[in-house]
Structure 1
Amino acid sequence: MTADGWSRRRFLAGGAVAAALAGCLGDDDGEEELPAEPIDLTEGQACDVCGMVIADHYGPAGQLFYADGKPDDRDGPAWFDSVAELVASHEGRRERGWELREGFVTDYSTVDYDLLERDDGGDGGDGENEGETYISSHASSEAFAEVTAVEYVVGSDVEGAMGEDYLPFSDSEEAAAFAEEHGGDVLSWEELPSPNA
C-alpha cells in the first residue's frame, strides 16, 4: 500500500473519531448538557419564591437546574431559602412541563450546623416566634448535595427560614438520630409531601 493510502485511511479514521467525540460531548446548541454543579448562594441571592436574601436567614438552602436554560431571567439555577419552598416551586414548574436536570440542597451531614433559639421573635419583637429552635444556614457550594442523595427530616420541632422545613442529611443514621431527638419522620426525595397540601 502506498503512503497516500495510509494517509487517506488515517484521515478518515481521524474524522470518524472526531465525529464520535462530537456526538458524545454534544453540540454547541446544548443538546447534551454537562452535569450541573452547585453554586454559592452567599452573594445576596434572593429566594425565587419569597424574595428573602438566602444567606441572611436560617435553614437549608436549595437550587434547581432545569433543562432548556430555565429560569429564563438568568444563567444557572432557580434558588431557594427553604427546601419546603423548593419542593412547592418544583411541583408547579413540573406541572408546566419544566424538566429537572439536577437539584442540590444543604447537606447537614457535611457541615457544622448550630441549633439556635430565637429570643426576639424575629418578627418585630412581638414574641410570636420566641422560643422556636432554628437550624443554621449553609449556602456555600461545598455545603450542597444532590437532592436524591439525601434523606429529609420532615415535621421536626426545628425550623428553617419559613418555619417548618425539610432538613436534609446524606448520612441515614444522622437523619434518624436528628428525628429521634427533635421529632419528625425521615423521608426520601420521592416521598416528600407537598407543602401546599
Structure 2
Amino acid sequence: MTMLKSTIKCLAAASLLAVASAHAITVNVFLSGAQETIPNPSLATGNGTFTLNPDNTISFNVVFAGLTPTLANGAPSALTISHIHNSATPGVGLPGTNAPVVIDIVGGVPPAGVSGPLPGVSAGVLVGNNVVVSNAFLTGLSLGNAYFNVHSNLYPGGEIRGQIAALVNTSVIPVPAALPLMLGGLLLIGAQAVRGRSKRV
C-alpha cells in the first residue's frame, strides 16, 4: 500500500505540473493593403494582438483606422465586413494566397466572445475573448494560414490584411486526454497490490 500511495502522489504532482506549464502565447498583428492577395495602395492600417490561450481558445484585440474615405465617384466608402480566414490545408492562407472565412467579426454571424464596429465606419476595434475554435482552426494556425481581413466598399475583396504568425501550444497537455491514462495506471497498480496481498495471506 505504501508503494501505491507513493505512485498516486507522483501522478498527482505530474498532473499539476502539466497544468502549471500551460501558458498563453501572444503575437503582434499588423494589417495593411500591401498584404492583400492583390496588393492595393490604401493608406489604412491596423495593429493589435492575437493570443492562443492555454485551453486552445483564442483572444484578439485589433485596432484599424484610415479606410479609404471615398470612392472614385465621390460616394462614401467604409467598412463592410471583417473576418478571420484560415485553412487546415498546408499553404492555403499563407501570404499571397486566400483561405476561406472561418470566423465572422463584422457581418455574418460572429461566434460568442467576438465583437466589432458596425459597418460604415472607417476606424474601429475587432475584439475576441476566449473564442472557442475547432481542431481544424488550430491546425491552420500552426501552419501560419490564419489572417485578419477588413473589407470596404472600395476594396470588396479586402482593403487591409494581417497575417497571424504560426502558433501552437506545445506545452499544453489536454487534461481530459491525460486523465484516462492516469486512472488506468492507478487501477493497474491497485490491482497488482491487491493480488500481491492476496498471495501473502
Relative to the length of structure 2, the TM-score reads 0.26
**Bigger relative contact order, structure 1 or 2 (CA pairs below 8 A, ≥6 apart):** 2
In terms of fraction of residues, the more strand-rich structure is 2
Point out the structure with max Rg over C-alpha: 2
Relative to the length of structure 1, the TM-score reads 0.27
